[in-house]
C-alpha cells in the first residue's frame, strides 16, 4: 500500500519538524510542564529515551502537578531509563 508509506514518511517529517520547534523553545528557556511533556513524547518518537527521561525529570521537578500525574511521570521516567539501557 503506497499510501501508507507516504503517510508514514509525512508523519516522520512532521515529527522531526515539531521536535525541532519544541527543542528550540526548550533551549530558549521556555520550560513549561506542557512543553516538557510534549518534547519528551517527540523524543520517544525518535528513539531518544534517555533524553526523554531527562526532560520528564525536569517537568517533575517543577512541582506543579498532582500526585496522580507525578506518579505517572515517575513510572514513565523509570520505563524510559530502562529502555535507554537496552
pLDDT tens string, the chain, 86 residues long: the values are 555 546 556 666 777 888 889 999 999 998 899 999 999 999 998 899 999 999 999 999 998 889 999 999 999 999 999 999 99
The pLDDT score that the predictor gives to residue 16 is: 80
Encode burial over 45-77: b for 16+ CB neighbours within 10 A, e otherwise. eeebbebbbbbbbebbeeeeeeeeeeeebeebb
Q: Is the dihedral of CA 21, 27, 31, 36 positive or negative?
A: positive
The pLDDT score that the predictor gives to residue 30 is: 80
Amino acid at each position: 500500500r503506497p499510501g501508507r508509506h507516504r503517510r508514514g514518511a509525512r508523519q516522520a517529517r512532521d515529527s522531526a519538524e515539531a521536535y525541532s520547534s519544541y527543542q528550540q523553545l526548550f533551549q530558549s528557556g521556555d520550560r513549561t510542564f506542557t512543553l516538557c511533556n510534549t518534547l519528551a513524547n517527540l523524543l520517544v518518537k525518535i528513539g531518544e529515551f534517555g533524553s526523554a527521561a531527562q526532560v520528564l525529570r525536569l517537568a517533575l521537578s517543577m512541582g506543579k502537578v498532582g500526585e496522580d500525574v507525578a506518579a505517572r511521570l515517575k513510572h514513565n521516567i523509570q520505563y524510559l531509563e530502562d529502555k535507554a539501557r537496552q
